[in-house]
Amino acid sequence: MRRLAVLVALVSVVAQAQTLCVVTGDVTYLFPADQTGDMAYAGGTALSVLGKTFDVGDITKAYVDGTAVSDNRVAVVFDGQKATVSVAGNVAQYVTVTVSGAHVTIEQTNTGDVDGDEITYVLSGTSTDGELTLAGAYKCTVQLAGVTLTNPSGAAINITNKKRIQLSVKSGTENMLADGAGGSQKACLYSKGQLQLQGGGTLTVKAATAHAIKSGDYITVKNLTLNVTSAVGDGLSCNGYFQMKSGTVTISGTGDDGIQCDLDGESATGETDGHEDEDSGNIYIEDGTLTINVTSAATKGIKAGGDLIISGGTVNVTTSGNGTYDSTERDAKGSAGLSADGNMTISGGTLTLKNTGTGGKCIKADGLLTIADGIVSATNTASQYRYSSSYTASAKAIKAGTRTQTGGSGRNVTYSYSGGIVVTGGTVTASASSHEAIESKSTITVSGGTVYATSSDDAINSASDFTISGGFVMGNSTGNDGLDANGNCYIKGGTVFAVAARSPEVGIDANTEGGYKLYVTGGTIVAIGGLESGSSLTQTCYSTSSYSKGTWYGLYNGNTLALAFKVPSNNSMGTPLVVSTSGTTTLKSNITTSGGTSIWNGFGLTGGTASGGTSVSLSSYTGGNGGGGGWGPGGGGHWAPPMRDGDGGNAPPMRDGEGLYAPPVRR
């Protein structure tokens, strides 16, 4: 064993190759002896080594030792008020370094790989007055290997290179970047080119002038732990697209949005496959843990100028900034946890979104919101932001779609609709204290998944048609309709539990007064407060005028338990309780449930069994608890409800006076 140790030591000694170290001020160029070849002198003033020409007058000294050299590597070590730089010989000719105190400027001139690889700049050490400015025209890597760097007069890292930059945070290292206030820098960490944030270490960024991290092109995040603890502007800001593949990102203390992505050019390239040449303004969250807490007025947790696509990961966004009046756009604006100027697609992940700022929203998509999978929890405890009677912003949990006035005026006004909400899977829980929990400015279509919405306003509202053909949908309103369509409402399938607050509100509402109708052609339905008058009930419905709060009921289709549900204990709930299944419908109260999966915040059970209970006497129900009106056939149910405000034939279809539109005509 002793011989082996001696041998290993011998190998170590022999393996220590020679390196010529050429020192010019604070920069040392490291030339491995086996790479140098002939080192030419010229004119008594110049020495050229591996293509790097030195003026011998600039050489502080040169020496030969056993320094190990990693090809393509440039190491920058910050040490208080100074910095030293070492440059691997094989890239020396492509790197010009200027050091002033701890302010390091590097210009890189290669236009292709060097010896099959790009140049890597490795930063370490500490300085309270230092920076790295990096210029060039070819991709490179900046590795943070335990650096704590503050630049009181500019960006801590300023990369003017327009090419792809890998910013790699070395595994096991803690790194911190900070800048000073009142500067002209765009960010504490700025990259003009594409910025790939990666590595297994931790990076903390504090920005006192503008954004924490800004790229003039796209940003991708992979593996690293990134903490933005303060910023005057956004936490992360980029153009083109943003992609989070994995890692842990925590953003707080920002003056503006958590993450913002805009178009780089005037218009989208239309390229998204593989993200090659993509300029979309899209944000992609694929995996990892993203936690954002924004507190400033009308700020967004995640703001996509294009689409927002979430396919995995854990996303926690809290917004608490109040609404504000945007004098540029002449509109009232609120905060939003997730915001997309285009479409929003959620196909995976666990999303927890909370808003407490007036006029804020947990989710806001101008285009189509599609939820295909994942778990979405959106809680909004805020009230309306009111700048004036004409400029307000409502605090909703989920809002999507756009309604645009196309003509007319008064009750003859006409609209076009775009976007909307489509749910095909996943679990959605939405809660709003003051306004609709879920609102579409266009259509809502549910064909799968589980949706639970509760609000003091309509639990779920669509400006246009509302269609349910599958899934489990519960709208629990403590002050208005359970489900409300300002167009037609189609119940074709699925399982629906709708709870209205009191007459004249109804469990399931359609805009009868506007010439629309509720169509029930299938599904398993429970509607507390009944159905809109004038409904077309192709599937037989039944009702009972009495029910008990907090009691479990079993709704049967023949002998099969179609749904076990618990009646909420809301202060006020409408009557009757209407039920319907696709077959022979019976109802039992006070059942005992076991097994299965709890849904709708505990108000429903699927896949379980029920035992015991007492049969409830049901009456045939032909619909008609809503106000009816000039367009429809009017009421006809068991109850003769009073007319609601604005429910008459002259009632305009317009509602929800957010923004420039008129204030709500009715609730």
Partner 1 sequence: MKKRILCMMLAALGVMLTVQADDYPYLAFQTTDGTVKAVSVTSLTLTFSNGALTATNADGTCSFALADLGKMYFTAEPTAVQPLPARGDGVEVFSVTGVSMGHFESLQAAEAQMPCGIYVVKSGSETLKLMKR
Binding site for partner 1 (CB under 8 A): 1, 3-4, 7-8, 10-11, 14-15, 17-18, 20, 33-34, 36-41, 43-45, 56-57, 59, 61-64
CB 563 within 8 A of CB 523: no
Kindly state the tokens that stand for 516: 């629309």
Nearer to partner 1, 3 or 410 (CB): 3
The answer to whether the beta carbons of residues 580 and 588 sit under 8 Å apart is no
Tell me the sheet residues that pair with 557: 560, 585
With 0-12 / 13-18 / 19 or more C-beta atoms within 10 angstroms meaning exposed / middle / buried, residue 387 is: middle
CB nearer to partner 1: pick between 40 and 137: 40
Rounded least distance, CB 4 to partner 1, Å: 6
Joined tokens for residue 420: 């909307």
Helix or strand holding residue 445 (H, E): strand 443-455
Phi/psi zone of residue 403: left (φ > 0), alpha (ψ -120 to 50 degrees), beta?
A: beta
61 forms beta bridges with 23
When the beta carbons of 1 and 181 are compared against partner 1, the nearer one is 1
Q: What distance separates the 2 farthest-apart alpha carbons in the chain?
A: 111
- Rank residues 64 and 137 by Cβ distance to partner 1 and give the closer one: 64
Of the pair 36, 347, the CB lying nearest partner 1 is at 36
Cα 517 to Cα 199: distance, rounded to the nearest angstrom:
57
Q: Name residue 195's amino acid.
A: L
CB of 93 to partner 1, least distance (A): 17
Helix (H) or strand (E) holding 10: helix 2-15
How many CB atoms neighbour CB 96 within 10 A? 15
Are 309 and 338 within 8 A, CB to CB?
no
As beta bridge partners, residue 236 has: 213, 259
Whichever of 57 and 550 has its CB closer to partner 1, that residue is 57
Nearer to partner 1 among residue 4 and residue 181 (C-beta): 4
For the bound state, the minimum distance from the C-beta of residue 122 to partner 1, rounded and expressed in Å, comes to 25
> Minimum CB separation from partner 1 for residue 28, in Å?
13
In 3D space, the residue among 497, 495, 500 whose CA is nearest the CA of residue 468 turns out to be 495
* Least spacing, CB of residue 39 vs partner 1, in Å: 5
Q: Which C-beta is closer to partner 1: that of 35 or that of 314?
A: 35
CB of 51 to partner 1, least distance (A): 14
What are the E-state strand segments in 456-613?
460-462, 466-477, 483-485, 489-491, 495-499, 508-509, 518-520, 524-528, 536-537, 541-544, 552-557, 560-566, 577-580, 585-589, 592-599, 604-611
In angstroms, give the least distance from the CB of 57 to partner 1: 7
Nearer to partner 1 by C-beta: 21 or 665? 21
Contacts of 534 (CB under 8 A, 6+ apart): 512, 517, 518, 623, 624, 626, 628, 629, 631, 632, 633, 634, 636
Residue 35: CB minimum distance to partner 1, A: 9
Q: How far is the CB of 27 from partner 1 (least distance, A)?
A: 16
Nearer residue to partner 1 within complex by CB, 58 or 271? 58
* Shortest Å distance, C-beta 15 to partner 1: 5
Looking at beta carbons only, is 60 or 111 nearer to partner 1?
Answer: 60
Give the shortest CB-256-to-partner 1 separation in angstroms.
Answer: 54
CA dihedral 70, 71, 72, 78 (to 10 degrees): 30
Is 427:449 a contact under the CB 8 Å cutoff?
yes
E strands along 381-419, which residues? 385-386, 392-393, 396-400, 402-407, 414-418
Considering beta carbons, is residue 8 or 660 the nearer one to partner 1? 8
Tell me the closest approach of the beta carbon of residue 96 to partner 1, in angstroms.
Answer: 20
Q: Which is nearer to partner 1, 38 or 276 (CB)?
A: 38
Which DSSP string corresponds to 572-616?
---S-EEEE-SS-EEEEES-EEEEEEEEGGGTEEEEEEEE--EEP
Nearer to partner 1, 20 or 77 (CB): 20
- Min dist CB 56 to partner 1, Å, is 4
Tokens of 183: 């500067």
Peptide bond preceding 504 in cis form (omega within 30 of 0): yes
Shortest Cβ distance from residue 38 to partner 1 (Å)? 5
Nearest approach in angstroms of CB 109 to partner 1 is: 24
Residue whose CB is less far from partner 1, 33 or 660:
33
On whether the CB atoms of residues 200 and 229 are closer than 8 A, the answer is no
Kind and range of the H or E run holding 6: helix 2-15
Q: Nearest approach, Cβ of 106 to partner 1 (angstroms)?
A: 24
Q: Which residue lies nearer to partner 1 by CB, 18 or 109?
A: 18
Question: Least distance (Å) from partner 1 to the CB of residue 77?
Answer: 22
Give the nearer residue to partner 1 in terms of CB position, either 17 or 640.
17
d(CA 495, CA 500): 17
Write the DSSP symbol of residue 231.
B
- Which residues neighbour 362 within 8 Å (Cβ) at sequence distance 6 or greater? 317, 319, 336, 337, 338, 353, 354, 355, 378, 379, 380, 396, 397, 398, 430
Q: How far apart are CA 392 and CA 639, in angstroms?
A: 36
